[in-house]
């Protein structure tokens, strides 16, 4: 399952140092984490954990994209989480997870054995608090996702998805058009994210292209040509939910 062990970075040099579960830690607390961490790498498509499997480790995503998904008995699949670098896998007090965890791209994880980590959480409020923040952020995201799955049209789903990737992919200049956006998912994975079929995803993406709202560089790389048209197509309130 584990392909190779990546060279382990010093926490201080870690790209996710200030966003991951360790974000609020001081140098002493960081050392405690450093002592129990190991890196594991997975190649694209590899299964990291199966639903129901006992969690022997918890982990932060260092790089790559990880998907969480659930499947019905006849194989219909729904993605229920998309983890980017600094996101966390595993929760305090949970011995197992009730979804599959898959490496969508090549992935490196910063892993902690569950039991020593949970001991550390109990003794370290900075970690406990950060875990809480991460869980609440996921809950917020899950609720927006539920609105999308339950009530948006295929076009609105695609537009929402592209708009989200636009914002996430370049957090420095979030609203500049014609920037390259890398899409780390195949059409089928986008479909599983949005509750659509891959054919519908393809059709709607090509519709947005025909409308000159987006353009393809290649299958996995896009540009947004018309940001406000894209945002209008999401179906969300034009103010993005901000009041006043």
Partner DNA sequence: CGCTTCCTTGAGTAAATTCAAGACTTGTGG
Partner DNA sequence: CCACAAGTCTTGAATTTACTCAAGGAAGCG
Nearer Cβ to a copy of itself, position 73 or 218? 73
> In degrees rounded to 5, what are phi and psi of residue 65?
-125, 135
User: Residue 181 binds which one of a copy of itself, DNA, none, with CB within 5 to 8 A depending on kind?
Assistant: none
User: Residue 78 binds which one of DNA, a copy of itself, none, with CB within 5 to 8 A depending on kind?
Assistant: a copy of itself
**Pair 51, 70: CB distance under 8 Å:** yes
Give CA separation, 209 vs 148, 155, 181, 191, 195, in Å. 21, 12, 14, 18, 21
**Pair 118, 92: CB distance under 8 Å:** yes
> In degrees rounded to 5, what are phi and psi of residue 59?
-160, 155
Q: How many residues does the chain have?
A: 244
Q: Does 205 bind DNA (CB under 7 A)?
A: yes
Q: Is residue 47 classed as helix, strand or coil in its secondary structure?
A: strand
From the list 109, 131, 139, 126, the residue with the least C-alpha distance to 49 is 109
> In degrees rounded to 5, what are phi and psi of residue 102?
-130, 140
Name the segment binding DNA (CB under 7 A); options: 2-10, 89-97, 103-111, 214-222: 214-222
Nearer Cβ to DNA, position 177 or 206? 206
Q: Closest approach of Cβ 144 to a copy of itself, in Å?
A: 7
Q: Closest approach of Cβ 229 to a copy of itself, in Å?
A: 15
Name the segment binding DNA (CB under 7 A); options: 4-12, 64-72, 109-117, 194-202: 194-202
Q: Closest approach of Cβ 142 to a copy of itself, in Å?
A: 4
DSSP 172: S
**Pair 16, 85: CB distance under 8 Å:** yes
Nearer Cβ to a copy of itself, position 91 or 209? 91
Q: Does 152 bind a copy of itself (CB under 8 A)?
A: yes
User: Residue 218 binds which one of DNA, a copy of itself, none, with CB within 5 to 8 A depending on kind?
Assistant: DNA
Q: Residue 53's CB: how many other CB atoms inside 10 A?
A: 14
Q: Does 220 bind DNA (CB under 7 A)?
A: yes
Size of interface with DNA, in residues (CB under 7 A): 21
Residues that bind a copy of itself (CB under 8 A): 51-53, 68, 70, 72-74, 76-78, 80-81, 91-94, 98-99, 128, 131-133, 135-136, 138-140, 142-147, 149-152, 194-195, 235-238, 241-243
């Amino acid at each position: 399952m584990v392909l190779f062990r990546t060279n382990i970075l010093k926490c201080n040099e870690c790209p996710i140092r200030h966003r991951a579960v360790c974000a609020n830690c001081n140098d002493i607390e960081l050392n405690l984490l450093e002592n129990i961490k190991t890196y594991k790498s997975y190649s694209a498509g590899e299964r990291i954990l199966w639903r129901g499997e006992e969690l022997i480790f918890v982990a932060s995503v260092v790089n790559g994209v990880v998907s969480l998904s659930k499947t019905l008995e006849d194989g219909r699949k729904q993605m229920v989480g998309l983890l980017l670098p600094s996101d966390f896998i595993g929760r305090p007090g949970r011995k197992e997870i009730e979804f599959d965890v898959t490496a969508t791209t090549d992935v490196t994880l910063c892993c902690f054995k569950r039991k020593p980590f949970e001991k550390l959480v109990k003794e370290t409020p900075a970690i406990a608090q950060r875990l809480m923040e991460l869980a609440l952020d996921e809950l917020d995201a899950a609720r927006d996702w539920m609105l999308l799955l339950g009530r948006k049209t295929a076009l609105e789903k695609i537009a929402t998805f592209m708009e989200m990737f636009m914002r996430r992919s370049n957090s420095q200049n979030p609203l500049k058009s014609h920037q390259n956006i890398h899409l780390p998912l195949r059409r089928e994975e986008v479909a599983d994210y949005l509750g659509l079929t891959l054919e519908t995803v393809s059709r709607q993406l090509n519709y947005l292209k025909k409308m000159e709202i987006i353009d393809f560089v290649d299958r996995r790389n896009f540009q947004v040509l018309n940001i406000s048209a894209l945002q209008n197509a999401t179906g969300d309130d034009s103010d993005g939910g901000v009041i006043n």
